Structure 1
Amino acid sequence: MSRIGRLLRVAAALLPVVAVAVVGGAVPALAAQAPAIVVSAGVTQPVFGYSDAIRERLFIDSTFDSDRDGLRDIIAFDVMRPRATLDGLKVPVIMDASPYYSTLCRGNEGECKADLDGDGLLDRWPLFYDNYFVPRGYAVILLDMVGTGNSTGCPTTNANEDNLSAKQAINWLNGRATARNAAGEVVRADWHNGRTGMIGKSYDGSLAMATAVTGVKGLTTVVPISGPTEYYDYVRSNGVITRGNSYVAYLANVVTNPERRAYCQPTRDRIAAEDGDEHGDYTAFWNERSYVKKVPNMTASVLLYHGLNDDNVRADHFSKFWYALAENGVPRKLWLSQEGHVDPFDSRRAVWVETLHRWFDYWLHAVPNGIMDEPKVDIERAADVWETHADWPIPGTAGTEVFLQPGAGGAGGLKLVPVAQPRSESFQDSPTQSQNTMILNPDAVQPNRLAYLSAPLTAPLHISGTPEVRLRVAADQTDTNLGAILVDYGTAERVNHRASGEGIITLETQDCWGESSPTDDGCYRQTQKRVATSDVELVTKGIMDAQNRQSIRVAVPLVPGQAYNYSFPLLPEDYVFQPGHRIGVIIVGSYPQYSSQADQSRANLQVALKTSNVVLPIVGGTAAAHAAGL
């Protein structure tokens, strides 16, 4: 039996036989004896109250001691569930575990948790999940990650203590751990139906994935939104440090409650001492903060969302996780948008809420709504223009070598065959060269880059997947960086993801999603796409430390003057180059706008063209490339 078949069989076995009332259908004989969810038009209906929902704050002893004070950390979480659970209604849980509820807060409008009357219970719940899903027969849990909010201990930025925080609550929901209220009374989740889904954006998304890869029983599905999956890739790229020194410790400080920051300083000092900023290589420190290699442990399905132009949590986070999900047969769906670090609620709101509703109904209430029979992938091709595909990369994609050609007083070319005779071109690394200088005026000769342009395309050329750059380079220093940029030279209206808002404009108008109470409404400011017409689009990019050419775990100095083969990925993409546009490949050394620490060697670099190319994942492969005029 397939993994999805096993999961569905478990879900069906867990569903109480009297838990669903179908409008227009036969009502189970016992339905009058206990409350039931109501399903109409294939989705659960808002038949339960919101203002009268039960609200609790609970505390559970963890299995770890993040601040090393000799006491196990206590994880706090807030629960909202329909009042009908007092009368026998069994409901699943939607959980958002976060470090941000009392610091940066959540959502486009920065909503924080708030206890307005001082009774120890939340009056304001961030985001719309409570307003929308509690009336439809769900419980919602907002969990404070270790060292944040009402939890004790200290944050460790995606180390085991952070990663295991939500697992404690799932164990409690399934009777494997003990939780207490503020009075110290033991509280049991006798209202739970055995299934939990986790959701969250950014750090919250990483916590959802971190919990899923533990294989904890009772976690049925996760919805990670733009979350880091390999923390090494969040602050490094192929040996290059891409964020400032001690960034991991810095973020731990950001999410810590201000009054506890001094107390948690020793924890941050340990993090800073172990992060390896002095070399940028991959160590056990990063292995602890990796989720991709642990995907084989998963039993939860995944609805994954990412912005292709997210320059905060870059797109390689979704791609590596997605590839691992596919290899391990995990039930999955994927949304890819044109925006940056933006929640789908602010990108494609109505369709996202509908999809999320059906997803949770299917996986947590076992409503047979057919969502898993639909195409796996939704991709935003242009502003608010979406298309669906059977998988990603799009079926029929094939890696296609496109070779660098020598220039004649200007930019070189791009062709499907290498140069006939050995040729090389040289440039000097510049640690201060701007990204605009790198990619603009591609026909002009510049001392700190090499530029290669295709002829104007005669047909659309669609790439889907992870491009790879292969270079043979000699440097006159023992170290240097290498960078590459894939560029679309051609005028078009595009989502302006580099402006304020990362591709969206927040409007003054609101719409509402769910029920309200006197202290918490489900209304949020609407958005629209920020678009602009431009002549150039940076499609994707990549960088590596030349000393890490053999492995990101070990740096090996260069022998000056000796040529080496280098291979490194660009960030994954799904992009269509239009007819009349030109594809550009820019080769540089240091890339200051991609990395926080540019190499200072200012090496002179010589690129051998005959064996240097970029492998593009082209839909239709070589035949499509020929048809487009490459």
Structure 2
Amino acid sequence: MMRWNTSSLARMAVCLSLMLGLLGCSGDSEPPVQTTHYEFSLEQSTLTMKDGVQLAVTYYRPTAKKSGETFPVIMEMVPYRKDDFFVLSDYGYGAYFAKRGYVVARVDVRGTGGSQGSIPKSEYSQAEISDAEQLIDQLSKKDWSNGKVGMYGISWSAFNSLMTAHRKPPALKAIIAAHGSTDLFYNDVHYIDGALHIDSYAHQIDTDNSMPQSPDYRIDETYFKNRFDQEPWIFTWLRQQQDGDFWRQESTTFKAPLEVPAYLIGGLLDGYRDFVLDVGQSSKAPVIAEIGPWNHAWPEYGVPGPNYEWRQKAVRWWDYWLKGIDNGVLDEPRWMAFMRTGHSPATDLSTIPGYWRCDQQWPSDNSTKRYYPQAAQQLSLAPTAQETAQPLLYRAGTGMAAGGWWGEQTGDMATDDSHSLVFDSAPLTEALEIMGMPQVRLRVAADAPFYQWTVRLEDVAPDGKVSLVSGASINPSQRFSRLEPTALIPGEPTTLTASIHFTTWRFQPGHRIRLAVSNAQFPMIWPSPTAGVTSLLSGNSTWLDLPVVPTRNASDQACLLPQPEVDDAAPFGETLENNGPVFESFRNEKTGDSTFTTTSDIRWTAHGNEFKSSESYRWDVNDARPAHASYQGERNNLFTINGEEIALSAKARIESDDTYFHVTFTKVLRKNGELVREKTWADHIPRRFQ
């Protein structure tokens, strides 16, 4: 998933700060390495697959300084339309690496953007990964290539870089992956922790995939057949509500350990951050791993900071693996994570307090500290002598304070905690630092066959303000097997376990550690259908394990972090407006109604054409009628190409009841204001433990 509006806005803010001289960098810094850069050209071309489909590629190609000079190739393959939606943001990265002696090949996935073929049936299809293998082979054989290829990217292109690396194409020598995933069912954007998540991304990608092929934007029968008339992916994802072959086909967690060297980047406010640990601890090849404090973004502009210029190390990484330069990049600390110092909740921080921890490998001096929930909202180091049931009334609208997924900055969690079971430790007498994935075990009972559970790890300051540290959701139907879900037996206790998503945090003296437990995480998780009551049974079988590491000071080590560099601006266009995304939540305690909305719009020019995209999304639920939750959204793309307007709008609505999801999706295409085509898809999809 790529949340491009958030990332683009944050990136613009960072670039502005750099130009104004406002941005600093935590820790020691090194001046940029002075090099003689290459001139480069921007070239549009295609590469032909075995089935005859031509994939569109943009080359950022260095100009040789001497006769016969060849270059390694860095490939990125995504469906995010390199000729319009991503044309401006791609340029800075293509220029950066091309100027340092690398051919950058930016490819549109088949059936998207400028590439031929039909839209794949879903993300990360076998055809897509097979195409990646063929692309690597062809790129390695170009007369300007030295025969060595790397793959890189953020989000989607991190996913397929990992997947392609597991197939070990001979010319692929190394990858760089930021914000990826190894488990498409549990750690992607459709079923977070195994529970249904309806994200605006699903609407965005289904709309954008339906746009005409660039750069001609021809509207004809081939376009209708391959793009506009293709069923939206959201139906496919809703029909796959349980783990199985569909999700595991390319999920790398179920394959042999990685054998291609990988430079991994994660963010503590990103929903995919666990992948860094998954790959870093299992890989058979060398790994460099870095996790910073930001959201779904690259380290030089991610929010919040502190930021650094990761591309300097990326060039050294590529130099080592693709040019054979022994520069010592593997002799330096290979693991770096930002230790967040506990801070007040806020949604608008540009930087947060803390320091970088650098180690040669994953810290081995960590330990586990176990806490047990008890009566009177206490979190203790010892369990209760007798198991005690604590009732929890299910309020379906609980959870909005945590936002749309386990990421982004959050405000005070007290509003969510008021509808949860909360357990607080005694005020700490000394600082406690954690780094890793906390573990939780809950002994529970319920009055209906299906609920969801959510656990949140929080920091309670002396003034009562509550900061979110991390969290996780639990789908209890998968407690015995992800592949064979089973219902709860009403009234019968059962045990649930979960890993809370990777986090770092320094709990300050005087602060309290809080475990919050609820049956809802709206709108992140689709509400379960039955209004009722569950119970948490405190005792030996209910606990929280924290991954404790020894406290350090920033001065104890040297994490060398070069300051972010200002990107080369694309000479052929500019962003005219970028508003949002704006998130709003509304809760009526008297009626039990909860609403969450997000809106955004962006406008830009490129190569003399003008583009505009706007969107609005809304999620609703009522505590007394949780089965009847709903989502509705609209995305509008207006492209003015050579003076002609192409407008594509897509509206979606998902409504649930006790047994079905009722889904409609409508596409409307207009040219110069006149209707060209309209098509609606509708289905009633049975609920299966969601």
Shared fold (TM-score, shorter chain, > 0.5): yes
Contact residue 481 and residue 590 of structure 1 kept, 8 A: yes
* Partner residue in 2 for 1:269: 231
Deviation for aligned residue 1:467: 1.3
Report the 3-state secondary structure (helix = DSSP H, G, I; strand = E; otherwise coil) of the residue aligned with 1:357: helix
Give CA deviations for 1:280-302 in whole Å, capped at 9, x if unaligned: 21021111241233353x44211
1:128 to 92, 98, 109: 92
Contact residue 157 and residue 252 of structure 1 kept, 8 A: no
After TM superposition, the structure 1 = structure 2 runs for residues 551-570 of structure 1, keeping only pairs within 5 Å, are 551-570=481-500
Deviation for aligned residue 1:433: 2.0
Deviation for aligned residue 1:143: 1.3
After TM superposition, the structure 1 = structure 2 runs for residues 533-612 of structure 1, keeping only pairs within 5 Å, are 535-595=465-525, 597-610=526-539, 611-612=541-542
RMSD of Structure 2 on Structure 1 (CA):
3.2
1:293 to 223, 236, 254: 254
Report the 3-state secondary structure (helix = DSSP H, G, I; strand = E; otherwise coil) of the residue aligned with 1:359: helix
Deviation for aligned residue 1:614: 1.2
After TM superposition, the structure 1 = structure 2 runs for residues 128-167 of structure 1, keeping only pairs within 5 Å, are 128-153=92-117, 154-155=119-120, 156-167=122-133
Matched, 1:199 2:186: no
Give CA deviations for 1:375-412 in whole Å, capped at 9, x if unaligned: 112222353754233266532223332111111xxxx1
1:302 to 239, 249, 262: 262
Contact residue 417 and residue 516 of structure 2 kept, 8 A: no
> Whole-Å Cα distance in 2 between the matches of residues 393 and 601 of structure 1?
43
1:45 to 32, 35, 46: 35
Contact residue 485 and residue 586 of structure 1 kept, 8 A: yes
Contact residue 336 and residue 359 of structure 2 kept, 8 A: no
Contact residue 477 and residue 603 of structure 1 kept, 8 A: yes
Q: What is the letter of the counterpart of residue 345 of structure 1?
A: E
Q: Percent identity?
A: 24
* Partner residue in 2 for 1:524: none
Please list every run of 5 or more consecutive structure 2 residues that lacks an aligned counterpart in the other structure. Answer: 1-30, 214-218, 341-350, 404-410, 552-690
2:391 to 426, 435, 438: 426
* Partner residue in 1 for 2:165: 212
> Whole-Å Cα distance in 1 between the matches of residues 402 and 264 of structure 2?
35
- Cα pair distance change 1:159/1:278, threshold 3 Å: closer
Deviation for aligned residue 1:47: 4.7
Matched, 1:613 2:543: yes
- Cα pair distance change 1:544/1:104, threshold 3 Å: farther
> Whole-Å Cα distance in 1 between the matches of residues 324 and 295 of structure 2?
33
Q: What is the letter of the counterpart of residue 322 of structure 2?
A: L
Contact residue 486 and residue 538 of structure 1 kept, 8 A: yes
Q: What is the letter of the counterpart of residue 124 of structure 2?
A: N
2:356 to 379, 387, 391: 387
> Whole-Å Cα distance in 1 between the matches of residues 199 and 58 of structure 2?
34
More strand by share: 2
Q: What is the letter of the counterpart of residue 47 of structure 2?
A: I
* Partner residue in 2 for 1:27: none
Report the 3-state secondary structure (helix = DSSP H, G, I; strand = E; otherwise coil) of the residue aligned with 2:435: strand
- Cα pair distance change 1:413/1:214, threshold 3 Å: same
Contact residue 288 and residue 335 of structure 2 kept, 8 A: yes
Please list every run of 5 or more consecutive structure 1 residues that lacks an aligned counterpart in the other structure. Answer: 1-40, 64-70, 113-125, 176-188, 493-533, 622-630
2:420 to 449, 465, 477: 449
2:191 to 232, 236, 247: 236
Deviation for aligned residue 1:304: 0.8
- Cα pair distance change 1:238/1:248, threshold 3 Å: same
1:82 to 58, 62, 67: 62
Matched, 1:254 2:234: no
Deviation for aligned residue 1:57: 3.5
Contact residue 97 and residue 204 of structure 1 kept, 8 A: yes
Give CA deviations for 1:477-505 in whole Å, capped at 9, x if unaligned: 1111111100011279xxxxxxxxxxxxx
Q: TM-score, normalised by structure 1?
A: 0.70
* Partner residue in 2 for 1:402: 371
Report the 3-state secondary structure (helix = DSSP H, G, I; strand = E; otherwise coil) of the residue aligned with 2:480: coil
> Whole-Å Cα distance in 2 between the matches of residues 221 and 454 of structure 1?
45
> Whole-Å Cα distance in 2 between the matches of residues 160 and 249 of structure 1?
23
Q: What is the letter of the counterpart of residue 469 of structure 2?
A: V
* Partner residue in 1 for 2:605: none
Deviation for aligned residue 1:205: 1.9
> Whole-Å Cα distance in 2 between the matches of residues 441 and 147 of structure 1?
43
Q: How many residues align?
A: 487
> Whole-Å Cα distance in 1 between the matches of residues 505 and 367 of structure 2?
14
More deviation, 263-272/412-421? 263-272
Report the 3-state secondary structure (helix = DSSP H, G, I; strand = E; otherwise coil) of the residue aligned with 1:469: strand
* Partner residue in 2 for 1:284: 245
More deviation, 607-616/86-95? 86-95
Deviation for aligned residue 1:148: 1.9
Deviation for aligned residue 1:42: 11
Contact residue 42 and residue 369 of structure 1 kept, 8 A: no
Deviation for aligned residue 1:169: 1.6
* Partner residue in 1 for 2:177: 224
Contact residue 316 and residue 329 of structure 2 kept, 8 A: yes
> Whole-Å Cα distance in 2 between the matches of residues 557 and 334 of structure 1?
39
Contact residue 81 and residue 114 of structure 2 kept, 8 A: no
Q: What is the letter of the counterpart of residue 426 of structure 2?
A: A
- Cα pair distance change 1:291/1:268, threshold 3 Å: farther
- Cα pair distance change 1:264/1:457, threshold 3 Å: farther
> Whole-Å Cα distance in 2 between the matches of residues 606 and 571 of structure 1?
24
> Whole-Å Cα distance in 1 between the matches of residues 415 and 510 of structure 2?
16
Q: TM-score, normalised by structure 2?
A: 0.65
> Whole-Å Cα distance in 2 between the matches of residues 575 and 391 of structure 1?
21
> Whole-Å Cα distance in 2 between the matches of residues 205 and 456 of structure 1?
41
1:62 to 24, 49, 70: 49
Contact residue 85 and residue 191 of structure 1 kept, 8 A: no
Contact residue 237 and residue 544 of structure 1 kept, 8 A: no
> Whole-Å Cα distance in 2 between the matches of residues 128 and 440 of structure 1?
37
Q: What is the letter of the counterpart of residue 613 of structure 1?
A: W
More deviation, 82-91/135-144? 82-91
* Partner residue in 2 for 1:99: 79
Report the 3-state secondary structure (helix = DSSP H, G, I; strand = E; otherwise coil) of the residue aligned with 1:206: helix
Report the 3-state secondary structure (helix = DSSP H, G, I; strand = E; otherwise coil) of the residue aligned with 1:128: helix
Q: What is the letter of the counterpart of residue 374 of structure 1?
A: E
- Cα pair distance change 1:393/1:600, threshold 3 Å: farther
